[in-house]
Chain A
Amino acid sequence: MAGGAQGSGVDTAANIFGKACGYGGLYVFGRREYHSNIKGLHSYFHLRISPDEILANINDVNLLAAFDAETVVRHINEVVPGGGVIIGSQQVNTKVLDIRTLPPEFKAQLVKFMEENGVGETLNDWLNHAKKRNVTVFPVPYMELLNQIGEKLGIEKISKITRMINVLTIGVSFALFKYDRSLAEKAVRETFAAKGKIAEMNVLALNHAYDYAEEHFKDSFKHRIEKTAVEEERLFLTGNQAVAMGKVLGGCRVQTYYPITPAADESEYLEAHQIMKTAAEDEAIVVVQTEDEIAAINSASGAALAGARAATSTSGPGFSLMTEGLSWAGKSEVPVVITYYQRGAPATGLPTRNGQADLRFVMHAGHGEFPRIILASGDIQECFYDAAKVFNLAEKYQMPVIHLLDKAMANCSQTYPVFDYGNFKIDRGAVLTEKDLEGKEYKRFRLTETGVSPRVMLGTKGGVHWYTGDEHNETGHISEEPLNRRLMMEKRMKKLDLVEKEVPAEDKLKFFGDPNSENVVVSWGSPKGAIIESIDLLKQEGFSLGFVQMRLLNPLPAEEATKVLAGKKRIIDIEDNYLGQLGGVIKEKTGIAPNFHILKYTGRPMTTTEVHAALKKILTGKAAEREVLMFGS
């Protein structure tokens, strides 16, 4: 784990570290935590590394690279016996309670810990306390190292190169792990590739730190990271990046957005890669930063009516503003996609943290009754494929689709074999062209058996029609006639039956673990990885469990859900919210209620460690009906 003040290069350090591990054929899972702040408050990046696939994070830290004193007090107790802490030598005399960025409620916790454990007031006292647990401290004289590096580079002003402390930390870390330094060099070069000679300066700094650590710390750290030979090509990416790529694959050609955490990175990434190669001519996506989220959804709807595959991307506060537009899109049968990254709510809430408290909201958002599809991804790979699929759903069934994600997936990074996307099919649903329309009268909302009326894009010759937010007749003009109203309501709503019938099974729900077990976990979204890993661990310990990952959340596939949940002794609902919203929806749609809940609403994603422990408590009869998880700073 690397931690420090925001703006001090924690992210860059972690990304270089992750990259270097990736070059060595290793799987990496990275969890990024940060405050709603530009510079100064605590942030950290927890990387888990393994030769085998990793699906989630765990509580344990083997090596803590602390850029500042706050990182030590926040995370030292996560460092396992046998683990280590890298800290700047000059930091150790810091008086812990003098750290200005610590909020009072956290200081109170520290005071309590210090009293209970007899820990003194300086950071050194804290480090000595950890040493009793067999944690090794690696003090690094960063300023001294920088002076030496400055000399080598002919730079007198050390303040010019203090930014490189993060790279020094990487050098020390890899030396402790005895990891192949050439891979670290490669990662540094790649990271600073666009910055000219900065890259080589950082390589030099990396090696200087590596040498220093080898010389001074020798074999005092026992953990190792070893590269392995791997043939397959892999990606190391975030959910934001996966969604952006999926959208382009799925044919998204207009994306609108208003800046919001944790969604905006996706739009920026899309804009940076605006022009894409295809088998034929280049194509391009237009990314429009609108004045607010109201404009974002309505511009996306406009673009969709004109015939572009269009999406907008947002989080809770932004979606709140979109609800009127959603209602218009649902009523006007607009194939618009909303990518929704949930974060800690309500209100501004925990704007840079995780949450899954908006399921009920997206199910019901917007006035009136209208059809919508909600598809929830559970990991970064699903983010990619789902981001493409949702455009097919939107156009086939002519309704808004909400692709429901969360901050944990947006900002976590994970290693995957390169995505295979050659077989992705575009299905634009029923669309009439100029040729189809020749000599025929066209009605946009013609009543049909399935409720789906063939669409004509604005601007098509022979297809003039109208849209309105009022109730409309078949032509699209305003109508308040009772019979027409009934027919139009039924036409729109029955499209959901078609969705429920036609969506492939794996997009409705996925089942993992033992289908014959009397215990079943039900969940959605980012807890997926921690749940799968926990089930594997529990299997090794002799406990059997199944896991239903719900994906299609509206219309909820009640029949399929009933099949996997009915008759189970323990149904354990796991969600990042207070109410157990999915559990409630399942009860409403199937009559089957979960009898245990594992919930977390601290804004930090679930780890395998805590999910495993909570499940074990439940399976051994030691748990309350409601287990609330707390891990993570």
Chain B
Amino acid sequence: MGLKPSDFRTDVFADWCPGCGDFGIMNGLQMAFAELGLQPYQIAVVSGIGCSGKEAHNVKAYGVHTLHGRTLPFATGIKVANPHLEVVAIGGDGDGLGIGAGHFVNTGRRNLDMTYIIHNNGVYGLTKGQASPTLQREMQTKSLPKPNINEAVNAIGLAVISGYTFAARSYAYDVRHLRDMIVQGVKHKGLAFIECLQPCPSYNNITTKAWYAGEDRKDANGKPQSRLYKLQETGFDPVVSDWSEDFQKKMAALDKAREWGDRIPIGVFYKNELEPTFQERLAKRIPFYMDRPPAKQNLCDTKGLSTVDLSEFMKNLKTS
């Protein structure tokens, strides 16, 4: 029997500021899990530190709220030990692209079959609004004493060149689109990256909900012209169906990832299921890896005795 999004709610009070994009992302997760037909026990939501880190407590699924920047290493360990768990890692932009940037890149190299969602609001909210790695240079959000001196990281671009085989962007206030991106990401065979744009109503007074909606740029009829547009509606095809297309598709994704300002694409930038997943790579070395992954091995007999035979190890060490 399929579950409803509300079956993935917990009774933990969500303590984000009113208007926070995290509510949208939380809803998007719950809706996606319901649509995917998953049960709470089949999912592990792994989160980092910051406002987004708490989201794990608001979703009914195994929740692992980890350390600042370390979401992906925890998720990696969980997925390697039990590849049958649906692992969804979530974290902030500072978490994933600042303190955790090394993990962001290196997790891409493994292509584990899991999903990683970055909440991108341009600021470190919980520490009161410092610039995050995705804030554009020269922007001065309201709690910054001076304009941002650093260039911004391009999350989609970094994902594509780091080996993520699915890269998409969505928006916290377009929950249906976000749900679709999460569903596609989870279904994707390989490591899926989803950048979710979101306003921070408390500290980011520049890329606000009104800014995304384009309320500052109304057309002749006075209708706001949203800055966001859907990539797939423009006929953009991100799918690599043959390796010969890969370079060109990556370049197209990077090209789209450069767009910012008055036109910001959301949707799938890149998708490649030809690349073997980490599980598949492991199964080449350990043929029974998927049947008996590390978390599901017996270790001992009914008397509790370790059943391992060390003679292969000892063969070369024997002195006779």
**A interface residue numbers (CB < 8 A to B):** 19, 22-23, 230, 233-237, 241, 244-245, 248-251, 253-254, 256, 273-286, 288, 290-292, 294-296, 298-310, 324-325, 328, 388, 415, 418-419, 421-428, 457-470, 476-478
Contacts and interface: CB of A to CB of B under 8 A. Distances in A.
Contacts of B285: 274-275
Interface in B32-85: 39-42, 44, 46, 49, 54, 56-57, 60-67, 70, 72-82, 84-85
Given A251-B299, A286-B286, A298 B66 contact: yes
A606 to B, nearest CB: 25
A250 to B, nearest CB: 7
B73 A302 contact: yes
Contacts of A307: 81-82, 295-296
A299 B41 contact: no
Contact of A303 (B10, B12, B49, B80): B80
Given A468-B57, A477-B12, A276 B298 contact: no
B127 interface: no
Interface stretch (B128-136, B181-189, B199-207, B303-311): B303-311
Interface size class of B (residues with CB under 8 A): 35 or more
Contacts of B84: 459
A559 B208 CA distance: 64
Interface stretch (B149-157, B217-225, B312-320): B312-320
Contacts of A467: 63-66
Contacts of B242: none
7 contacts: A241-B313, A249-B310, A279-B307, A284-B292, A306-B81, A461-B41, A466-B64
Contacts of A234: 318-320
A19 B282 CA distance: 35
A251 B308 CA distance: 8
Given A236-B319, A282-B288, A307-B81, A299 B76 contact: yes
Given A279-B309, A461-B41, A478 B57 contact: yes
A292 B61 CA distance: 29
Given A305-B78, A310-B294, A467-B63, 17 more contacts: A19-B319, A244-B313, A245-B310, A256-B77, A276-B310, A281-B292, A284-B294, A295-B106, A299-B73, A302-B77, A305-B77, A325-B67, A328-B67, A388-B306, A419-B314, A458-B82, A459-B84
A237 B313 CA distance: 11
Contacts of B74: 298-299, 301-302, 305
Contacts of A273: 312-313
B9 interface: no
A288 B319 contact: no
B301 A283 contact: no
A388 B300 CA distance: 13
**B12, B46, B73, B299, most chain A CB atoms within 10 A:** B73
Contacts of B66: 298, 328, 467, 469
A281 B288 contact: yes
Given A235-B319, A459-B84, A276 B41 contact: no
Nearest to A478: B57
A292 B76 CA distance: 13
A286 B294 contact: yes
A245 B314 contact: yes
Contacts of A428: 299
A248 B78 contact: no
Contacts of A241: 313, 317
A251 B77 contact: no
Contact of B308 (A283, A306, A415): A283
Given A306-B85, A459-B44, A299 B312 contact: no
A19 to B, nearest CB: 7
A282 B292 CA distance: 9
Nearest to B58: A477
B297 interface: yes
A426 B319 contact: no
Contact of B62 (A19, A275, A277, A459): A459
Contact of A426 (B73, B299, B311): B299
A388 B299 CA distance: 12
Contacts of B297: 251, 253, 283-284, 308
Contacts of A244: 313
A325 B71 CA distance: 11
B64 to A, nearest CB: 5
Contacts of B293: 286, 308
B309 A457 contact: no
A16 B286 CA distance: 32
Given A276-B309, A295-B103, A23 B320 contact: yes
A309 B65 CA distance: 21
A516 B310 CA distance: 41
Given A245-B314, A274-B286, A254 B81 contact: yes
Contacts of A304: 77, 81
B102 interface: yes
B305 A424 contact: yes
B289 interface: yes
A415 B319 contact: yes
Nearest to A465: B62
Contacts of A478: 54, 57, 65
B78 A458 contact: yes
Contact of A458 (B44, B102, B286, B314): B44
A235 B102 CA distance: 41
**5 closest pairs, A vs B, by CB?**
A302-B77, A22-B319, A299-B77, A291-B106, A308-B294
Chain B CB within 10 Å — which of A250, A292, A303 has the most?
A: A303
Contacts of A388: 306
Given A307-B296, A309-B299, A248 B319 contact: no
Nearest to B300: A426
A423 B305 contact: yes
A230 B297 CA distance: 39
A29 B263 CA distance: 71
Nearest to B44: A458
Given A278-B307, A298-B67, A464-B41, A283 B77 contact: no
Given A281-B288, A426-B305, A294 B70 contact: yes
Contact of B57 (A308, A422, A459, A466): A466
Nearest to A285: B294
B33 to A, nearest CB: 12
B22 to A, nearest CB: 15
Given A251-B300, A425-B300, A461-B41, A466 B305 contact: no
Contacts of A300: 77
Contacts of B105: 291
B295 A308 contact: yes
A599 B42 CA distance: 55
A230 B319 CA distance: 11
A281 B296 CA distance: 12
B62 A302 contact: no
Contacts of A422: 305
A433 to B, nearest CB: 12
Interface in B221-243: none
B308 A249 contact: yes
Contacts of A468: 56-57, 63, 65
A281 B299 CA distance: 10
The residue among B40, B72, B295, B319 with the most chain A CB atoms within 10 A of its own CB is B319
A249 B310 CA distance: 8
Interface string B268-306: 000000000000001001101100111111111101111
B161 to A, nearest CB: 16
A418 B311 CA distance: 10
Contacts of B60: 464
Contacts of A290: 73, 76, 106
A18 B49 CA distance: 53
Contacts of A463: 41
A308 B79 CA distance: 11
B85 A424 contact: no
Nearest to B47: A468
A388 B72 CA distance: 28
B81 A425 contact: no
